[in-house]
Amino acid sequence: MMAAPSSSATTPADETETVNPDTELSEGNADVATLKRKREEDTPSDDAPVPASSVNPLWKTSLCSFFRRTNGLCSHGSECKFAHGEEELRPRPDNTWDPTSERAKREKADNEDREREKEDKGVLMMTEMVDEEEGDAGLSKCLVHLPQKWGSDQLRNFLNDQGTVYKSAKKKKGMMVGFVTFGDREQLETGVKGLDGKSIGNKNIKIADVIPRPFEKKGRQENIVLPKVQQDGEQSGDEDKGSNAGIRSVRDVVTPLAHLSYAEQLEEKKKSLLHMLKKLTRSARKACPSGVVLPDWILKSRERGGLPCNLEGILESPLIDGYRNKCEFSVGYSLNGQPTVGFMLGNYREGVTAVEEPNNCPNVSTIASKYAALFQRFLQCSELPLWNRFNNTGFWRQLTVREGRRSAEMADSHHTENNIGEVMLIIQVCSAGHEDSVVNGEFERLAKALVTGAAESSPCLPLTCLVVQDHQGISNVAPADAPLRSLPITLSNNPPPPLEASANDDKTRIHDYIGNHKFSISPTAFFQVNTLAAEKLYSLAGDWADLDSDTLLFDVCCGTGTIGITLAHRVGMVIGIEMNASAVLDAQRNAEINGIANCKFVCGKAEDVMGSLLKDYLQSLPQNTAFVSTKCEEEVDNIDSCEKEKTGIDEKQDTENGSNNLAGESQHKSSLPEIEDHKMEDQPQNTCISNKERTSPLQFKKVVAIVDPPRAGLHPTVIKTLRAHSHLRKLVYISCNPESLVANAIELCSPSPENGEKGKKDNRGWRNMSSAGLARHRVKSMPKSEPFRPVKAMAVDLFPHTPHCELVMLLERHHLGT
Ligand SMILES: C[S@@+](CC[C@H](N)C(=O)[O-])C[C@H]1O[C@@H](n2cnc3c(N)ncnc32)[C@H](O)[C@@H]1O
């Protein structure tokens, strides 16, 4: 199931939008009810032809209750619209089955089994929290589902309240697990019996084994021989096998769909997208203010089995294996205690810190795996320590491998690895507290090891630039302005040139191609991780945006300018908006190297600049006064604090959510590029426009926006701005997180209240709301404006073997004056 990673963590019981096959079918069930009401009127007469299944998509998609109750005596016989028995039953348009059917029940049970299996396996390994002196790890247990805000004191209080006898107990705030060591086996058995299943809040405690790992001794790593894993308190006989027992493999964690054929993976993704889309209809129906007529698209959703618009399909990824052009490899210890470069086996919150090699993850390219192995070999004899997530100390943190393809003319269709022409390696470290001379020495040795390893590899590996990122934060997600320095790449035995204190812009970039367009990419700029599939995505967005030379295209969250630049020849002008300063510089450079003159890129947060840009560029167009009032535009600026805060939280979740840290995207704080005299006088300080003069407003017949926000979705201010500007009739929404698309679409597509009703000031409950619940709440204070309507949706699979998928939705408003 493709649940967005953050949903379960933030969705409380009272606001649940969880996917329940029964409630999911409620729209469909409404259709069935209508069918049942009509069955008498529609009873086909002898000479009337039987309605063909093609006429009604719900034909025989529900079991006939008369047939079932009367043991086959339904008077409509074979002409009955309802299925007489399981054999006649057809799947519903959304690919689900009548929930009362055996098939649906079996599917549900299978899903539950799978979920349970996942839960059972989702535990744990670490001894950092179990002291050496406490001795026998066999006497330690891990308590799962504890409140994250608890520290060790609260855990001990809880154990004392329960009358549990133990030797020591530890817990770190922020984790949902704690560790208890018992004095002897009897204490352990009694303790486990008393604690297992005990509820705290709405969670039941689960007891898991602790799988010991090496721990740190006074800053120096020390590997200890691993005790055998405990199975029901017994020691297993095989150390190597034992240490991995019950733990999901890195392949399962990073690419959980890899066990399915590609066709099956697409089917899974489609199913989960259909569930998500139906949530949009349900939520928009709920959000519709009382006394306001439901929009047509909601009323007609019944004909589509509850969908807000048709899901037209799912475009396949041209490459299914090794497609990622960017991999972020963690540095840490494997289950066997070896310094390892790869992926974490779970997330820190759940107490998992073990890292395993990426070799079995089919989405990782051979080149990336080889670089991970080279770096790993280097770390095994480095003088400096690996980063320790428990006490936030250490030096080596992360390796990012970014690849750029050669142009299409040079492509080798048989050996896709041969198409990689450039590679950038970014090594993240935390230099604080380490001596410069030692650090510089290690960097020189590292550069040599990587350059030599790449040259000796067969075939040899491309290596274009080597960059060090210095980051002191707790999570590996560094801000865009974290210091970068370039390491020289030299193969000769001559002494290398001195290390450069800062990354020289020209030396720290790689290039990739989308169609015939060449893109220059700097270390922290976003670039879609599956270039060939992104090409399909952008061209679909362009087709749906219905562009022509009279179109002004807003490319919102434009990154390195990929969407605007690839579509520039189809429009009059492109305005790109992006908050990451180096991505904006890349975008400018990219327009130049592709000889494109009709693109402008603005550096700033969309929520800060969108309103004034729309005003500037649209001011000479005739206003559609039916829907825009000055008041409405003014109101856009008044975001209440709840929205601001919530957005901040979403962004944080976003960055911390990359549980398998194959993040294609990180949230960056913008730092300004050095472009002089380009600040727009009426813009907030942190924004600038990339061209020399401010272009005077031009007359464009059409204004279209393509938005491609990060996982958290669009800021509420951007949504209000888009709604407030009635010239904007068409909006193509590209989303890497269907859950936030749904939340944003609720706000974009729900009618605004008649009397400009204000949202309640008391927003204390927002923290516990789902994103859809929050969106419904915001609709209440939406300034009076014409809503969009969902016209069609299409998925593009950029992430084979994982549950993720891009979703594109076309939103429109009626034509001016209608
Ligand atoms: C999913 S990426 C899309 C980038 C680009 N459209 C592409 O396909 O390469 C989202 C981009 O939005 C940028 N971003 C995130 N929050 C933003 C904000 N509030 N305003 C403007 N840009 C933002 C990120 O830096 C990132 O480049």
* Three-state secondary-structure class, residue 401: strand
Compute the distance between CA of residue 750 and CA of residue 787 in angstroms, rounded to an integer: 6
Please work out whether the CB of residue 583 comes within 6 Å of at least one atom of ligand 1. Answer: yes
| Ligand 1 pocket mutation, candidates 529, 579, 672, 686, criterion most atoms within 8 A of CB | 579
269 found inside a domain = no
The confidence score (pLDDT) of residue 219 equals 38
Q: What amino acid positions are annotated as catalytic residues?
A: 736
Verify that 348 and 419 share a domain, yes or no: yes
Decide which of 246, 264, 299 is a domain's last residue. 246
- The contacts of residue 263 (CB under 8 Å, 6+ apart) are none
Which residue's C-alpha comes closest to atom 18 of ligand 1?
605
For residue 555, what are the β-bridge partners?
576, 706
Local confidence band at 244 (pLDDT 50, 70, 90 cut-offs):
very low
- Measure 557 CA to ligand 1 centroid, in angstroms: 4
Q: What average pLDDT does range 515-531 have in this prediction?
A: 95
Q: Which of 329, 413, 338 is nearest to 369 (CA)?
A: 329
* Three-state secondary-structure class, residue 65: helix
The confidence score (pLDDT) of residue 686 equals 40
Verify that 551 and 610 share a domain, yes or no: yes
Of the listed ranges 125-134, 168-177, 201-210, 626-635, the one predicted with least confidence? 626-635
Local confidence band at 2 (pLDDT 50, 70, 90 cut-offs):
very low
Calculate what percentage of the chain has a pLDDT beyond 90: 49
The confidence score (pLDDT) of residue 44 equals 33
| Ligand 1 pocket mutation, candidates 402, 512, 567, 578, criterion most atoms within 8 A of CB | 578
The confidence score (pLDDT) of residue 759 equals 52
Residue 478: give the domain boundaries: 326-510
* Three-state secondary-structure class, residue 69: helix
Identify whether the C-beta of residue 557 lies closer than 8 Å to the C-beta of residue 525: no
Local confidence band at 679 (pLDDT 50, 70, 90 cut-offs):
very low
Whether the predicted model's global pTM rises above the 0.80 cut: no
Verify that 598 and 688 share a domain, yes or no: yes
Identify whether the C-beta of residue 288 lies closer than 8 Å to the C-beta of residue 751: yes
Decide which of 219, 246, 273 is a domain's last residue. 246
Q: How far is CA 657 from CA 7, 9, 43, 662, 746, in A?
A: 11, 10, 54, 10, 24
Compute the distance between CA of residue 44 and CA of residue 31 in angstroms, rounded to an integer: 19
Note the pLDDT tens digit of each residue in 413-425: 667 778 899 999 9
Local confidence band at 59 (pLDDT 50, 70, 90 cut-offs):
confident
The confidence score (pLDDT) of residue 136 equals 60
Show the tokens assigned to 367: 């080149």
Please work out whether the CB of residue 606 comes within 6 Å of at least one atom of ligand 1. Answer: yes
Verify that 633 and 711 share a domain, yes or no: yes
pLDDT exceeds cutoff 50 at 694:
no
Compute the distance between CA of residue 798 and CA of residue 805 in angstroms, rounded to an integer: 6
Which residue's C-alpha comes closest to atom 6 of ligand 1?
558
H or E segment and range at residue 187: helix 185-195
Verify that 360 and 459 share a domain, yes or no: yes
Verify that 469 and 563 share a domain, yes or no: no
Show the tokens assigned to 427: 């090594």
Note the pLDDT tens digit of each residue in 543-568: 999 999 999 999 999 999 999 999 99
The confidence score (pLDDT) of residue 754 equals 80
Residue 755, judged by CB atoms within 10 A of its CB (0-12, 13-18, 19+), counts as: exposed
Distance between terminal CA atoms of the chain? 41
Please work out whether the CB of residue 126 comes within 6 Å of at least one atom of ligand 1. Answer: no
Verify that 437 and 570 share a domain, yes or no: no
Verify that 746 and 641 share a domain, yes or no: yes
Verify that 483 and 618 share a domain, yes or no: no
Verify that 482 and 600 share a domain, yes or no: no
Please work out whether the CB of residue 584 comes within 6 Å of at least one atom of ligand 1. Answer: no
Q: At residue 307, what is the residue type?
A: L
266 found inside a domain = no
- The contacts of residue 178 (CB under 8 Å, 6+ apart) are 129, 142, 143, 146, 150, 152, 155, 169, 170, 171
Q: Looking at residue 614, which CATH number applies to its domain? A: 3.40.50.150
| Ligand 1 pocket mutation, candidates 557, 718, 804, 806, criterion most atoms within 8 A of CB | 557
- Measure 288 CA to ligand 1 centroid, in angstroms: 30
108 found inside a domain = no
Compute the distance between CA of residue 7 and CA of residue 266 in angstroms, rounded to an integer: 22
Q: At residue 145, what is the residue type?
A: H
Verify that 545 and 484 share a domain, yes or no: no
495 found inside a domain = yes
The confidence score (pLDDT) of residue 403 equals 97
Verify that 371 and 451 share a domain, yes or no: yes
Residue 316, judged by CB atoms within 10 A of its CB (0-12, 13-18, 19+), counts as: middle
504 found inside a domain = yes
Identify whether the C-beta of residue 352 lies closer than 8 Å to the C-beta of residue 126: yes
Q: Looking at residue 155, which CATH number applies to its domain? A: 3.30.70.330
The total of other beta-carbon atoms located within 10 Å of residue 151's CB is: 14
69 found inside a domain = no
Q: At residue 503, what is the residue type?
A: A
Q: Which of 364, 463, 378, 492 is nearest to 429 (CA)?
A: 378
Q: What average pLDDT does range 317-339 have in this prediction?
A: 94
Q: Which of 102, 103, 98 is nearest to 82 (CA)?
A: 98
Question: pLDDT averaged over the chain?
Answer: 77
* Three-state secondary-structure class, residue 573: strand
Q: How many domains does the chain have?
A: 3
The confidence score (pLDDT) of residue 709 equals 98
Identify whether the C-beta of residue 394 lies closer than 8 Å to the C-beta of residue 386: yes
Between residues 139 and 674, which one has the greater pLDDT? 139
26 found inside a domain = no
Please work out whether the CB of residue 707 comes within 6 Å of at least one atom of ligand 1. Answer: no
48 found inside a domain = no
pLDDT exceeds cutoff 90 at 6:
no
Decide which of 179, 212, 246 is a domain's last residue. 246
- Measure 408 CA to ligand 1 centroid, in angstroms: 26
